[in-house]
Amino acid sequence: MTEDLIEHVLGGRTTEVEEAVRKAAAAEIMPRFRQLAAHDIVEKNGPHDLVTVADRAAEAHLTASLTALLPGSVVVGEEAVHADPTVYEALRGDAPVWIVDPVDGTRQFVHGDPAFCTLVALARQGELLASWTFAPALDEFAVAVRGRGATLNGQRLHAGSPALGAVLEVATSHPDYTTPDQKRALLGLVTEGVAPRPCGSAGLEYLAVARGTLDATAFSWEYAWDHAAGLLLVTEAGGVQTTVAGEPFRITGGNALPFTAARDAATADRIRTLLRGS
């Protein structure tokens, strides 16, 4: 059934989506990288939540190109939802949904750090079908299709497992974006054999798990544009994702938080146990 759904919704357009993502980055993001003026940067909900002219222009570009590729589809983008929160409800509808984060890692982008990316995922009725993760300044492009695996620059991704007895490296929600309760849960990772650190671009942290250079993530927020593309990338590379309740993360929301994506089941179970404090 899933295979039929992918063919019905996506067809052979995987490479066309990749091209659309590359064009948006080339037209709207990279010309502004390290060229932003002060008036090009706006605080949305405080000094740690930034948006730039590149975010808005790239999302508009992708909205036009992706909906043209798949007539009848809709877009749930970070900036569109900020302007109108009801847009998020499309994730629960029947139409195919493009989930877009035009610049994931805006803080890095603003500071001239190349560790940012553009995230696009395609879903229908809450089920992830495919995802595209593009880090234009690093020249890295990862693609995942449900049931068909994941690739980075055309090479298959395999998350693998941490070495026996190795210290687990875990990227966690940045302290600037966590509540007191979430901070307490994440403090469970401060223990022997685990090395937590604040995350950068969520999309690139997921890519690191999928390629086996990071052992796990532990995130405490659930906006679909930050997680959809990366969660599919990790699972298609052989990794595992779970909430603290032991359930798969739902892009439609209502998840028990925090949640983790890890290289293998044993690592996911350990991180979940530590986050639960039991």
pLDDT of residue 8: 72
pLDDT band at residue 224 under the 50/70/90 scheme: very high
What confidence tens digit (pLDDT) does each residue in 186-205 have? 999 999 999 999 999 999 99
Q: What percent of the chain has pLDDT over 90?
A: 84
Give 114-163 as a DSSP string: S--EEEEEEEETTEEEEEEEEETTTTEEEEEETTTEEEETTEEP----PP
Distance in angstroms (rounded) separating the CA atoms of residues 205 and 197: 11
The answer to whether 146 and 232 have CB atoms below 8 angstroms apart is yes
- Give residue 45's pLDDT: 62
Q: Once rounded to an integer, what is the mean pLDDT over residues 35-41?
A: 88
Q: Report the pLDDT value the prediction gives residue 261, as an integer from 0 to 100.
A: 98
Q: Which of 2-6, 153-157, 222-226, 227-231 has the lowest mean pLDDT?
A: 2-6
d(CA 278, CA 274): 6
Q: State mean pLDDT over 139-149.
A: 97
pLDDT given for residue 4 in this prediction: 76
pLDDT for res 48: 57
Whether the CB-CB separation of 210 and 237 falls below 8 Å is answered with yes
Given this model, what pLDDT does residue 266 score? 97
**Range from 19-23, 43-47, 193-197, 239-243 carrying the lowest mean pLDDT:** 43-47
- Does the pLDDT at position 234 exceed 60? yes
What tens digit of pLDDT does each residue of 45-100 get? Answer: 655 567 899 999 999 999 999 999 999 999 999 999 999 999 999 999 999 999 99
Structural domains of the chain, with CATH: 2-154 (3.30.540.10), 168-276 (3.40.190.80)
Q: What is the mean pLDDT of residues 203-230?
A: 97
Average pLDDT score, the chain: 93
Euclidean distance between CA atoms 58 and 26, whole angstroms: 9
Q: For the ranges 70-79, 160-169, 171-180, 214-223, which has the lowest average pLDDT? A: 171-180
Task: Kindly state the tokens that stand for 83.
Answer: 């302007």
What stretch of H or E contains 230?
A: helix 224-236
Q: What is the pLDDT of residue 51?
A: 81
Residue owning tokens 């532990």: 218
- CA 230 to chain CA centroid, Å, is 4
Residue 44 confidence (pLDDT) = 67
Residue 79: φ, ψ to 5°: -75, -35
**pLDDT in the model for residue 177:** 75
